[in-house]
Amino acid sequence: MAELRRFKQVDVFTPTPLMGNPLAVILDADGLSGGQMLAVARWTNLSETTFVLPPSTAGADYHVRIFSPAGELPFAGHPTLGTAHAMLESGFKPKSADRLIQECGVGLVPLDLSHSGWLAFQAPPARIHTVNESYFPLLNAAVGGATTVTWSPPVVVDMGIRWLVARADGALSCLLMKPDTGALERLLTRCEADGLAVYGLHQPGGPADYEVRAFVVERGALVEDPVTGSANACLARLLHAQGFPDNPAFAESWRVRQGTALGRDGQVRVRFIDGDPWIAGQSITVIDGTFRL
């Protein structure tokens, strides 16, 4: 017999409804099978849907399973922030007043609750793999001919989810890109990556420090993600490993704009604490009710 389960649809990385990245959150997921969760994710047809369960690890506040329409993910950034927002809004009390610990496929992910209106997650550790130079022509074809920097070859950053990270000549080049679906799918297959994240530096005084776009291919179709926490976390780990080549001040913090090409206005803040990046954003609930499942 179907049950009514608490449900929220949250817009993440924005304080303004419809301008960020939507996330569906099932707050009472205990008893659901993995197959049922996948069916819900395919039905919502959002980039991710999360399912909140009791924690199974000491120290965790709750356990989250994250599903895209294609399957389960060990970690993703905007679901981490959006689920925390939904839980706190629903009255959930974490064990610590200013810190929340999420349990997910990559382990325990801390979230900082101390900045009013903003939540931030600590980026999980990442492994960085340089891309074989023979793939560079395919990369240029995949991004529609946009030029990537020569001094910093593209890399795959593995954070449970694997992003191929490449740099455009600047924010405008990033925004003008028109990816080729076939070339991108071949590139991601060869690089064993889940998606392509491209970033470009804004001019001083611009709307942000970096412009970011993120692309995946799902069932043969090109999908641009509006605002991507994991891609920004991977970029932060990469720039830290490179020694912040654009600006030494970025060792402390920077701002990202994402979703511009989709008519969104995603705002991401990156802050470093003791050498670890924290990815921050605002969230707002757009739909609040129950899910019959």
Q: What is the pLDDT of residues 209-223, one digit of tens each?
A: 999 999 999 989 999
pLDDT at 149: 63
Sequential DSSP letters for the chain:
---EEEEEEEEES-SSTTSSEEEEEES--TT--HHHHHHHHHHH-SS-EEEEE---STT-SEEEEEEETTEEES--HHHHHHHHHHHHHTT---SSSSEEEEEETTEEEEEE--STT-EEEEPPP-EEEEPPGGGHHHHHHHTTTPPBPSSS--EEEESSSEEEEEEBSSHHHHHH----HHHHHHHHHHHT-SEEEEEEEPPTTSS-SEEEEEEEEETTEEEEESS-HHHHHHHHHHHHHHT-SS-GGGGTEEEEEE-GGGT--EEEEEEEETTEEEEEE-EEEEEEEEEE-
pLDDT digits (tens, 9 = 90+) for 110-130: 999 999 899 999 999 999 999
- Lowest mean pLDDT, pick from 45-54, 87-96, 136-145: 136-145
Domains along the chain with CATH numbers: 4-122+281-292 (3.10.310.10), 127-262 (3.10.310.10)
**Structure confidence at residue 154 as a pLDDT band (50, 70, 90):** confident
pLDDT at 173: 92
**Structure confidence at residue 148 as a pLDDT band (50, 70, 90):** low
pLDDT at 185: 97
| Average pLDDT value for residue range 180-207 | 96
pLDDT at 2: 82
**Structure confidence at residue 239 as a pLDDT band (50, 70, 90):** very high
**Looking at the annotation, which residues are catalytic?**
48
| Average pLDDT value for residue range 67-91 | 97
Residue 103 has pLDDT above 80, yes or no: yes
Residue 265 has pLDDT above 80, yes or no: yes
Return mean pLDDT, the chain. Answer: 95
